Amino acid sequence: MATVAAKTLRLSLAAATLSVCSLAAEAAKKEALSSVADLSYGVTLYHYFQNDYFNALSELYVAKERGGIQGHSDNPAIIEGGISLAFGMHNTASDLFNELLADESKPTSVKNAAWLNLSKLAYQRSQWSTAAQSLANLDAENASHLVNIERLALQTNIHIHQDNLQAAEDSLNLLIESKGKKDPTAWPYYLHHNLASAYGRNGNFSQAISHYQSVYAADLTEYSLEPDLQLALRDKAHTAAGFSHLALNEYEAAQAEFNQVRLVDGLSNQALLGSGWAAYGQEVYGDAIRPWQELLRRSLFEPEVQEASLALPFAYEKMGAQGEALLAYLDAENTYESELDRIDTATRALSDIALLPLLNIEVDRNSNWLNTPELVEAPIINYLQRLVTRNQFQARVQELRDMQALIEELTVWEQKLTDYQDLNQARTEQRAQQDLEIQNRDYDTLIQTLAEQKATVDTEISRIRSEEDYFALATDPDTLDLIKRAKRSKALAEKAGDLVSPRKQAQAKLYWGILYWQQSQNFHDNLWTLEQQRDSLAREISTVKDSFDRVMDASHNAPDIIPMQQRLDQAEADIAQKQDNLTQLLATIENELRTELLAELEQQKLRVRFYLAETKLSIARLYDTRPIDGDLLIDTNEQETHSLPEVSPGSGNSDINGNSIIDDDTSALDSAPQEEGSDDA
């Protein structure tokens, strides 16, 4: 069941990824790629397409805070739901899709996307009937091609989990018919494999083999899957098909399947082991020995190698090479005892060792951390490698990565906020300096003085208007000089009285009169101009006063600095709190991982003990069957004569180089031999 659950999880994760990608691609297709109506939407996609879900969601959150993304219809909501799903925020995604469905006005395409994703969410939670129900709500007739392909793929997987294999077959056939010849979707490969595994679990090995063969029947295609993935999937299918043939006692067919598996990755261990048993079944013990010897060159951490250690001497026995058999049993005994010691050492080490540095997830969240060189030296890393192939463990590691990534984000913000605090402090100091400067320059008094002077001008203008003081508005220096002289002449003439001739007096009055007349002519224009200038001055003084008041307000209340300071302080506190929460959660997950690892070690120990016990029994059996004449079973001089053909790595089973990225934790691979064992037991 663990294997089934693990497989389910992996496939569902793949489904989620493919689905979100296709939805985003569909969303993007509806418009020219360059014509994003809202740049935030484009930035979200940019992060999302690089699997940077955190920044993609952050961009969406910021856009929502600023009024939402405009001009992209419902795509942002679908994208947010999809990214939330990919980022492991299942409840959030579920809420978002349900919100979309609750709105009657949403178009069918949006509702279909929501139903599909809700179905996936239920699938990931192993709620098969809910997943099926959500899928049934999808309007298949009006769904796009991509959505329909995903719907059929998901439906097939759901049927498999519900053990309705005929319905799963039907869905898969429908998918293959619908996809068209040129559609590069990889779904059929996965689904054939899943279906084959399900048949294998049910003991229907013939059907299982048929579907495994479908996995590798198609040509290697350039677009459907990454080449490594295709080859890895083929290895997996060949191996599982081989074990299925073994279960049916079809040894030659099994051998043929195992021979197709590349020798380059972890999966080849199972193929080599199976290949040995296939030859053994045909009683060609020499051929059984070759793959097992190859296995024995590999790490004893692998269960297949452990099994081969015991199987090899058994084959020697069958060949009548009792001496070699005993030697090999003794070697196996030593090896198993050493392995038990190693497991004990690793178990003790695990109690003290910090797992997170060992997992090395902080180096690069996208790296293949188990391949990091320093980890290879770690005492328990080989056991970790066994664990990492399990999806439950991978899910935990993904959670750890997410937590670690969040902590790193917050650490970056923590450092930034320190700088921003400094920046704000510098602004505060600059503001204080400006405040001092304002005080020194006494702008307040200056403005007051200006206002007083303006009041004086007002009074004067009022007087000129009321008294109609025409001469008061003269500004031309020549005119002013003439007025001065005329005034003086008129005053002198009046003062001199009869001493000045009437003609001169009249002349003085005339000049005065002319000037008076001239000024009176311009008086109203000049007065109007003057009053305009006065009003303008009043406005300018008012503006200056307002500016000054604002500066003083900014200086005293610092509307840009004090609130920012408060926000910065609050943000620092929030960051510290979230970091604490994350660290605690990280410790919880680490402890869970430790428990899993201890359980893994315990399983290893049980398995090795079992093999050790079998080995000891076999050794005892061989000693018991020692020839009566007392000949030694082990004659070192005779060992050379019993030497068996050596195999070179890669002979027979290897064809293409490549590294598998698919784990060995498949139900198909495990189920065939287990079924066989169970039947015989």
User: What Å distances lie between residue 443 and 374, 380, 439, 451, 455, CA to CA?
Assistant: 69, 75, 7, 12, 18
The CB-of-568 to other proteins minimum distance in angstroms stands at: 7
Q: Distance between CA atoms of 5 and 335, rounded to whole angstroms?
A: 33
Residues ≥6 apart with Cβ < 8 Å to 106? 74, 100, 114
Q: CB of residue 182 vs other proteins: minimum separation in angstroms?
A: 19
Q: Using the minimum distance from each CB to other proteins, give the nearer residue, 525 or 592.
A: 592
Q: Residue 217 contacts by C-beta under 8 Å, 6 or more apart in sequence? A: none
Could you tell me the two tokens for 349?
Answer: 């080490």
Q: Which residue is listed with tokens 């923590």?
A: 414
Q: What's the full length of the chain, in residues?
A: 681
**Tokens read off for 62:** 């910021």
Q: Least separation, in Å, of the C-beta of 5 and other proteins?
A: 7
Nearer to other proteins, 233 or 310 (CB): 310
- 336 and 608 Cβ atoms separated by less than 8 Å: yes
**What angle (nearest 5°) sits at the alpha carbon of residue 666, between those of residues 357 and 258?**
115
- Least distance in angstroms from the C-beta of 40 to other proteins: 9
Q: Which is nearer to other proteins, 262 or 396 (CB)?
A: 396
Cα separation, 515 vs 488, whole angstroms: 13
Which lies closer to other proteins via its Cβ, residue 214 or residue 671? 671
Q: Which is nearer to other proteins, 446 or 599 (CB)?
A: 599
Cα distance between residue 127 and residue 124, in whole Å: 8
With respect to other proteins, which residue has the nearer C-beta, 85 or 132? 85
Residue at token pair 């001089």: 637
Q: Whose structure tokens read 């509702």? A: 111
Measured CA angle at 74 (ends 73, 77), to 5 deg:
135
- Output the smallest distance, CB 521 to other proteins, in A: 47
On the CB side of 135, CA atoms within 13 Å amount to 25
Q: Report the residue number, 452 or 574, with the smaller CB distance to other proteins.
A: 574
Q: Which is nearer to other proteins, 36 or 527 (CB)?
A: 36
Least distance from C-beta 267 to other proteins, angstroms?
17
CB atoms within 10 A of CB 433: 10
Q: How far is the CB of 229 from other proteins (least distance, A)?
A: 17
Nearer to other proteins, 345 or 566 (CB): 566
The least CB distance from residue 53 to other proteins, in Å, is 10
- Distance, first Cα to last Cα, the chain: 19
Q: How far apart are CA 681 and CA 675, in angstroms?
A: 10
- Minimum distance, C-beta of residue 335 to other proteins, in the bound complex (Å): 15
Is 66 or 297 the residue whose CB approaches other proteins more closely? 66
Alpha-carbon distance 157 to 12, whole Å?
9
Contact 314, 288 (CB under 8 A): no
Smallest distance from other proteins to CB 609, Å: 9
